[in-house]
A = this chain, B = another copy of it.
C-alpha cells in the first residue's frame, strides 16, 4: 500500500488528473473519469485501487460512499508544490496589462489597486490589494492653492510620490499672495525632513517669516499632518467581489454572504498570509485548513508581496475556494510581481514585459516603448 508518504510517478499522475478535473468541474471525480478522460492506459479498476491508496494516504477523500474523490488540503499542497508546472502568460495579454498598469503608475497605492483589479479579472476571483503606507514620512513637496478668500487646498507629496490633498477653511480671510508666499516658506521648512522632526520652534519661525499669526498657521499645519498620516496608512482594496458569483461553490446566498463578510476582516487575511509558507518565488500559498481559521477551511489564499529597494510596498492576495485554478492564479500573481517591480525599478518608465525566466521575452513588438509615457502619443 505505498510506502509511507512518497508518491510514485503513477500516483502523482492520477492525483494531478483528479485535481485538474475537480478544478474544472467542481464535482467529485470518479475512477472511470480518470481512466477515460485522462487516458492513462489503465482500467478504471486499477485506478480505483490507486485511488484507494491515495485516500488512505490522505491526499484525497470522498464526500460519501458513492461519490467520486475530492482533493484534500494535503492533496492540493502536493499539487501546488510538486506537480504544478509554471504557465506563462500570453504576450498579447501581457501587453494589454502593461498599458493598463502604466496609466495608473504614479504612486504605489494606485498601482497596487490596479494590480488587484487586473488580477481579479485575470483569475475571476476576489483580489485584495494592500498598499503599505510609507514609513518615511518626509515631505517631498507641498503647495497651498487658494480656493476662495477664506479657504485653500493643501497638497502634499511624500517621499514615495503619493499625492494627498485636503481642503482648509479659515475663520478669517487670507490673501492669495500670502498663501503663495507661505507655500514657499512651509515648503522650505518641511522639505526632506521627516515630519515628526518639525518642532514648535519651526512653526514659530514659519509664522514669523510669513508674517501671520500662529493660530492662522495651525490649520494648515494640521492639514499637512493629516495628509502625511494618510500616506502612512495602509490601504486595502478589494476588487472583483462580483466575480464570486461565478463559482459553483457559492451556490447558496448564505455561503457567498458569509464569505464576503469574512474577507472584510483584513486582519485575518494578513495573518494568514504572513504565516503561510513561501513557494520560493515570492509567493505564499495557504490552502484550506492550513490557515487555521474555522470559517476559512474551504478557502485558499495565494499572495504576493511587492518589494522595491528591499522594502515591501504592499501585496496582492487572491482569495478563493480551495478548488481554485492554482496554475492560473499563481502565474498571474507572479507575472504582476515582475511587472510592478520592474516598472518601479525604471522609475515609472516602461520597458515592457517579463524579464528573465527566458520565455515570452521576444523583445520585438511593443518592447520598445521606452520613450516617455505609454501610448507614445507624440502630440499635445
Contacts and interface: CB of A to CB of B under 8 A. Distances in A.
Interface of A: 105-107, 140-141, 143, 145, 147-148, 150-151, 153, 155, 157, 161, 163, 165-171, 200, 203, 218-219, 221-223, 225-226, 241-242, 245-246, 250-253, 256-257, 260-261, 346-352, 354-355, 359, 361, 363, 371-373, 377-378, 380
A147 B140 CA distance: 8
Contacts of A105: 167
29 contacts: A105-B167, A106-B165, A107-B165, A140-B145, A141-B155, A145-B161, A147-B161, A147-B348, A151-B348, A153-B157, A153-B163, A155-B163, A167-B347, A167-B350, A168-B373, A169-B349, A169-B352, A169-B373, A171-B372, A218-B359, A218-B378, A219-B372, A222-B352, A222-B355, A222-B359, A225-B380, A241-B242, A242-B260, A245-B253
A150 B260 contact: no
Nearest to A200: B380
Given A245-B256, A256-B245, A145 B141 contact: yes
A377 B222 contact: yes
A157 B169 contact: no
A251 B170 CA distance: 52
Contact of A222 (B145, B223, B250, B354): B354
A54 B343 CA distance: 66
Dominant secondary structure of chain A at its interface with chain B? mixed
A347 B150 contact: yes
A166 B346 contact: no
Given A150-B347, A242-B260, A359-B218, A143 B155 contact: yes
Contact of A161 (B167, B170, B252, B380): B167
Contacts of A166: 106, 350, 373
A130 to B, nearest CB: 19
Given A143-B143, A157-B165, A250-B253, 11 more contacts: A105-B167, A106-B153, A163-B165, A169-B349, A169-B373, A170-B372, A171-B363, A222-B359, A226-B373, A242-B257, A242-B261
A354 B226 contact: yes
A137 to B, nearest CB: 14
A17 B147 CA distance: 52
Nearest to A180: B141
Nearest to A141: B145
B141 A347 contact: no
A306 to B, nearest CB: 17
A260 B226 CA distance: 36
A253 B252 CA distance: 7
A20 to B, nearest CB: 25
